[in-house]
Amino acid sequence: MHTVVLGASGTTAAEVLAVARHDARVQLSEEAESALAAARAVIDALAAGTDPVYGVSTGFGALATRPIGPHLRARLQRNIVRSHAAGIGPRVEREVVRALMFLRLKTLCSGRTGVRPEVAHALADLLNAGITPVVHEHGSLGCSGDLAPLSHCALALMGEGDAEGPDGTVRPAADLLAAHRLHPVELREKEGLALLNGTDGMLGMLLMALADLDRLYTSADITAALTLEALLGSVRVLAPELHAIRPHPGQGAAAANMLAVLRGSGLTGHHQDEAPRVQDAYSVRCAPQVAGAGRDTLAHARLVAERELAAAVDNPVVLPDGQVESNGNFHGAPVGYVLDFLAIAVADLASIAERRTDRLLDRNRSHGLPAFLAEDPGVDSGLMIAQYTQAALVAELKRLAVPASADSIPSSAMQEDHVSLGWSAARKLRTAVDHLTRVLAVEAYAATRALELRAGMVPAEASRAVIAAARAAGIEGPGPDRFLAPDLAAADAFVRGGALVRAAESVTGPLA
């Protein structure tokens, strides 16, 4: 377990993943400490003055017109956390909550929010103790950022609400703080608002989706290559010179991956039942173009995420010259758009993989393979219903591709009259990534079985390595019908855990 040191200028995707998924410890740098202290001095000076300042000496949102006297300001900050912790529904995953907390801490350390250093330290202590506040699925509109989810985290800092301890048990937050010798935070001017006013939940989920999709797009190139090989397809469409004349980077990378996997194959180009087969079907021939477009979408989403990682998202903010200004930087549109864009790309990648699988199972289109890859078609159904499962997942992925960010619903007495719904876009993308994993698992299962059914032909070395790894992982090969769900679960784990990619790369070297 290593330590991530937060400065005042943002963080990296790798650091977010280290904290969220691998429980890396968090430490504040001297630069962050200085930035926090300097910004707090500005807020303290404003709090001592007579002019109303939003979030310091006024109410919030549609109630911002009411001045709040000094004797009520601590209560105001407590109340905004309590009232905004209004989530409902199932618990959000631990890794999402840890990412959300760490990204909020990142913004606090920028010195643009005006919280005291002890508030930032308290949030770091919560992460380091492995205490994860209970955050609920529903509640964020992505308008002033992820208000409800962040409020549930701030509530735990105050020693209220529930949280999960490092042992996985949910207990009152006050009990967990006491067990780790931590003290509840007494919030002062601006601090409640600063703890809950950011795009941190949607950004954290975007970063994790990007990491997962990096692996899945490589996996998709491998499964497409295996299917092309099992269908005796042509590798000529993967030639670098063909992709150079349409120079989309993702397309070139996908074609290069497929070509590397298929190097030395004894199956490609045989055209067993046609003399010759002029060209392969789109789902095979256009695999690099579809996967490549998705790869380029990932690159754009990563650029947006990197910009957001460098941002300080709060309202109001303390500017470098000491001015405190209201703004709209908490709006989730930049992140929401790319979350939705990725869901579209994921649905299309799954759709083309399902079409390839169906082609493997159809004896009229599989160029000599038995119907449904069954041992005795008619007596055995083979992988017929595995394709049904895959098709059901693809159908849901198409529904999940409907953009959340194209919608809006007004809130806060029409003060927040155009919202991003970025949290919703992030939640459905997480489901989409899970479904894509399963769709590719079914294609990998079918393609490895089909290759083994090509008796007397020698697959590429990388293909043989994938088949051997799949069998070692408990994914059975051809044979009579058996209980199929365990094989599909093993194939899911094979793709999800990266074993598919590792097996191919043991021959090809690193793939893009």
Active site residues: 54
* Residue 378 CB-half CA count within 13 A: 0
Q: How far apart are the first and last CA of the chain?
A: 28
DSSP collapsed to 3 states, 234-267: CCHHHCHHHHHCCCCHHHHHHHHHHHHHHCCCCC
Q: CB count, 10 Å around CB of 430?
A: 19
DSSP 91: E
Beta strands in 99-233 (DSSP E): 132-133, 136-138, 162-164, 170-172
Q: CA-to-CA distance for 284 and 276, rounded, in angstroms?
A: 17
Q: CA-to-CA distance for 425 and 405, rounded, in angstroms?
A: 7
**DSSP letters along 374-398, please?**
-SSBTTB-TTHHHHHHHHHHHHHHH
Angle between helices 13-22 and 287-309 (to 10 degrees): 90
Furthest CA-CA distance within the chain: 89
Q: CA-to-CA distance for 182 and 125, rounded, in angstroms?
A: 8
Alpha helix locations (H) across 317-421?
333-361, 384-400
Q: What is the CA radius of gyration of the chain?
A: 26
Q: Give whole-number Cα distances, 209 to 339, 340, 434, in Å.
A: 9, 12, 10
Give SS3 for 90. Answer: strand
The 3-state DSSP composition of the chain as helix, strand, coil percent (nearest 5) reads 55, 5, 35
DSSP 93: P
